[in-house]
Amino acid sequence: MNLLTLCGIVKTMAEGQASPADEPVRQRSLRTHNLGLVLRLVAASPQPVSRADVAAATGLTKATVSTLVDELLAGSLLVEVEPAPRAGAGRPAVGLRLAAQGPAGLGLEINVDYLAACVVDLTGAIRLHEIRRADQRGRPPDAVLDDIAGLAADAVEAATAEGLLVAGTALAVPGLVANGVVRLAPNLDWRDVDVLTALLSRSPLAALALTVDTVTVDNEANLAALGELHAWAEADPAAARASFLYISGEIGVGAGIVLGGRLFRGARGFGGELGHVTIRPDGPHCRCGARGCLEAYANQEALLRDADVATDDLASDAALTRLAALAGAGAHPARMALEAAGSALGVAAADVVNLLDVDTVVLGGIYAPLAPWLAEPVLREISDRVMTAAWAPVTVRPSVLGPSATVVGAAGSVVRAIRDAPTTWLEGPARVG
Ligand SMILES: [Zn+2]
């Protein structure tokens, strides 16, 4: 590993990465800070790095680095790898990299027409991904929570069999969430459902010694946007400071807003409800109680209906595959439906760009595979409606994580929390208790 490159990584981390853990700290927090610093430095490096490299890049003494590395090795956060044979004088140093068999994140997703689970290891690799398609509308919340707990049980068992230890879980729901309570999920018809308590009490999560700190419930678009951000940052550390609007398309339409590498939640945590931005004040009634919301013009049901794709005998994923095939073949109703939905999405996205000056709009969820037909009308509306578009262009692109961004992002958020603050794992109940 080139020392200049490593130093560059440290500089990038210090300049603007999302982690507040990179900021200066008091003496008592020094160990915590430095453990995170070393872990993130190893994580950011594309090749294994030696202890001497870490010392040189961070300015820490070699003895301090060795102590920290030993702790991270003992906590299954790092592993040592055999050094590559090298020409010239000197003994090659043992390299360090993130442990693929240590702690892992469990992502769970409750959506309107499916449930999903995903396990991501510390390196960010997806180790398991399971989707069970079934309409959840009209089901009692307890029955849905039982099913998602069952899916979690299977995922934990599979992860354990692979030598992983589930360190935490994040559950994504299509609604407004505050302190683990789903205040409103219009498409599920849920109000004030205490999902966090329900999840913590259900096996196998109760048996994992997970605490409130390591079990989170969040809006699905927020977790998808975080997943997108982290995927970009893995590929390019500078992208850790990105600003974008992530639009999540399902039966509901939502958004995650990322500004300067941080998720913008709004003052009360309820920001990002793009699906309920008004497209036409006198439009059709929406499940939220208002009229003419974006969701009515661009959600999965509107797209399939307007494209004349019969959904009676098809699962939603098969219906969407058929929609894409029809659009690819040039079928007029499919093309018109995508044009109309893309235009509505563009009108709403243009408002966000005008307000927040994000430079990228990400098409996620069902919109990702449909981006070949949606991106153009979205971009056209943005170009027509955003005052600054002529000299501050906006990019419209599909999500790099595709339709799975939410559940992958959920699992990744657990892993990212460990990488940002490894002592929560090293001293947590899953490790010591
Ligand atoms: Zn609405």
59-112: pLDDT as tens digits = 999 999 999 999 999 999 999 998 666 656 666 778 999 999 999 999 999 999
Query: What order of strands is seen across the sheet that includes strand 181-185?
Result: 176-178, 181-185, 190-194
Whole-number Å distance, alpha carbon 19 to ligand 1 midpoint, is 34
Q: Which residues touch 108 (CB under 8 Å, ≥6 apart)?
A: 115, 116, 117, 118, 148, 151, 152, 169, 170, 171, 172, 407, 410
Q: Let me know: does 366 contact 307? Beta carbons within 8 Å.
A: no
Whole-number Å distance, alpha carbon 313 to ligand 1 midpoint, is 28
Whole-number Å distance, alpha carbon 273 to ligand 1 midpoint, is 9
Give, as one character, the DSSP assignment of residue 49: B
Please count the other Cβ atoms lying within 10 Å of the Cβ belonging to residue 313.
Answer: 7
Q: Which pLDDT value is given to residue 17?
A: 46
Whole-number Å distance, alpha carbon 294 to ligand 1 midpoint, is 7
Whole-number Å distance, alpha carbon 252 to ligand 1 midpoint, is 9
Q: Quick check: bond before 204 cis, omega within 30?
A: yes
Whole-number Å distance, alpha carbon 350 to ligand 1 midpoint, is 18
Whole-number Å distance, alpha carbon 101 to ligand 1 midpoint, is 44
Q: How many residues does the chain have?
A: 433
Question: What percent of the chain shows pLDDT beyond 90?
Answer: 73
Q: Which pLDDT value is given to residue 200?
A: 86
Q: Which pLDDT value is given to residue 214?
A: 82
Which residue is associated with the tokens 């300049």? 15
- Calpha distance 7→10 (Å, rounded): 5
Whole-number Å distance, alpha carbon 160 to ligand 1 midpoint, is 42
Whole-number Å distance, alpha carbon 359 to ligand 1 midpoint, is 26
Whole-number Å distance, alpha carbon 187 to ligand 1 midpoint, is 10
Whole-number Å distance, alpha carbon 248 to ligand 1 midpoint, is 15
Whole-number Å distance, alpha carbon 297 to ligand 1 midpoint, is 11
Whole-number Å distance, alpha carbon 181 to ligand 1 midpoint, is 20
Question: In degrees to the nearest 10, what's the CA dihedral of 238, 243, 248, 253?
Answer: 170
Whole-number Å distance, alpha carbon 53 to ligand 1 midpoint, is 54
- Calpha distance 391→407 (Å, rounded): 36
CA neighbor of 222 nearest in space, from 266, 191, 190: 266
pLDDT in tens, 341-374: 999 999 999 999 999 999 999 999 999 999 999 9
Gyration radius (Cα) of the chain, Å: 23
Q: Which residues touch 210 (CB under 8 Å, ≥6 apart)?
A: 166, 168, 169, 200, 429, 430
Q: Which pLDDT value is given to residue 411?
A: 97
Whole-number Å distance, alpha carbon 91 to ligand 1 midpoint, is 65
Whole-number Å distance, alpha carbon 286 to ligand 1 midpoint, is 5
Whole-number Å distance, alpha carbon 276 to ligand 1 midpoint, is 4
Whole-number Å distance, alpha carbon 186 to ligand 1 midpoint, is 9
Whole-number Å distance, alpha carbon 85 to ligand 1 midpoint, is 62
Q: Residue type for 52, please?
A: A
Whole-number Å distance, alpha carbon 282 to ligand 1 midpoint, is 12
Whole-number Å distance, alpha carbon 279 to ligand 1 midpoint, is 10
Cα angle 382, 385, 391; round to 5: 70
Whole-number Å distance, alpha carbon 145 to ligand 1 midpoint, is 25
Please count the other Cβ atoms lying within 10 Å of the Cβ belonging to residue 111.
Answer: 25
330-334: long-range pairs with CB below 8 Å, 24+? 331/307, 333/306, 333/307, 333/308, 334/307, 334/308, 334/309
Whole-number Å distance, alpha carbon 295 to ligand 1 midpoint, is 7
Query: What order of strands is seen across the sheet that includes strand 262-264?
Result: 262-264, 253-259, 244-249, 360-365, 395-398
Whole-number Å distance, alpha carbon 41 to ligand 1 midpoint, is 44
Mean pLDDT by 10 residues, the chain (433 residues): 57 50 60 92 90 93 95 95 67 86 95 95 95 93 94 93 93 94 93 93 71 83 96 89 96 95 93 95 92 96 92 80 96 97 98 96 96 98 92 95 93 93 81 47
Whole-number Å distance, alpha carbon 245 to ligand 1 midpoint, is 19
Whole-number Å distance, alpha carbon 271 to ligand 1 midpoint, is 14
Which residue is associated with the tokens 């950011």? 44
The SS3 assignment for 76 reads: coil
Domains defined along the chain, listed by start: 3-98 (1.10.10.10), 103-222+407-432 (3.30.420.40), 235-403 (3.30.420.40)
Whole-number Å distance, alpha carbon 384 to ligand 1 midpoint, is 25
Whole-number Å distance, alpha carbon 230 to ligand 1 midpoint, is 30
Whole-number Å distance, alpha carbon 239 to ligand 1 midpoint, is 32
